[in-house]
Amino acid sequence: MQLALSTWQEVESYLKTSTGIIVPIGSVEQHGPIGLIGTDHLSSEFVARGVGEAIGAMVAPTLAYGMSQHHLGFTGSVTLRPSTLIALVGDVVESLAVHGFRRFFFVNGHGGNIASVTAAFDQIYAARSLGEARPAVHCRMSFWFGPRTKALIGELFGDKDGSHATCSEVSLVQYAHQEAIKHAEMTPFQAPRSHGFFDAADYRARFPDGRIGSASSLASPEAGKRLYETAVADMTEAYQAFLEY
């Protein structure tokens, strides 16, 4: 059940049976020569909506922009400042809490969001711990891939999945958006692994085609279909456990 495609009356009815909501979050950033710029938010959205369809959970509109400053050396990438992302997450949670939502499960597609979103959760909890009269809420964030999905990624790609522009995320988005599949020659076949980076210029110098540790040409929509089905099962289980915690 998508919040954006519901009326206020339908949301009011939903809240009589559940106070949980799934919030997809990602980024707008380069993903190498064949990965789409929207990969991180498209992947989290695809899996989150799959969970919503499977169990009738409410799914919020995707928070597409994330903390991606290190990708600004590549054309088309967009970033939020950490402070902006913290404020955005806080405002979304507090707005929905006004209406009666209490459990917020963020399905994340981008590692660069972790620090800021975790800080946003701490800000939300701190307001309550310091005595502000706000309803108690619980927030959790998970990557779209759970334990069974991680095992499948290992089976499909071994040590070639990498850590950015990964075979798995490119495959998932290829399955979701087959009309936008890209092809390109990539040299080297598998990008160098990361030993850390700093700002955008440093990232671009270390990883000139945008990939980190991945052999993205191994991606396929067929693999994406298997990943999608497994990820939806993983996230459904994780969300239901969160509601009961």
Radius of gyration of the chain (CA): 18
Q: How confident is the model at residue 130 (pLDDT cuts 50, 70, 90)?
A: very high
Up-side HSE of residue 31: CA atoms within 13 Å toward CB? 34
Averaged over 45-60, what is the pLDDT?
A: 98
Q: How confident is the model at residue 96 (pLDDT cuts 50, 70, 90)?
A: very high
* pLDDT score recorded for residue 221: 98
Q: How confident is the model at residue 6 (pLDDT cuts 50, 70, 90)?
A: very high
158: number of Cβ within 10 Å: 11
What percent of the chain lies above the pLDDT cut of 70? Answer: 100
Q: Is the pTM of this model over 0.95?
A: yes
Tens of pLDDT, residues 66-95 = 999 999 999 999 999 999 999 999 999 999
* pLDDT score recorded for residue 129: 97
CA 88, 111, 58, 180 dihedral sign is: positive
- Token pair belonging to 214: 């991945």
Q: How confident is the model at residue 41 (pLDDT cuts 50, 70, 90)?
A: very high
Q: Which residues make beta-bridge pairs with 31?
A: 35
- CB of 27 closer than 8 Å to CB of 41: yes
What is the DSSP code (8-state) at residue 35? Answer: B
Q: Tell me: domain 3-244, CATH 3.40.50.10310, correct? A: yes
Average pLDDT taken over every residue of the chain = 98
**Amino acid letter, residue 99:** H
- CB of 134 closer than 8 Å to CB of 97: yes
* pLDDT score recorded for residue 117: 98
Averaged over 89-105, what is the pLDDT?
A: 98
Q: How confident is the model at residue 231 (pLDDT cuts 50, 70, 90)?
A: very high
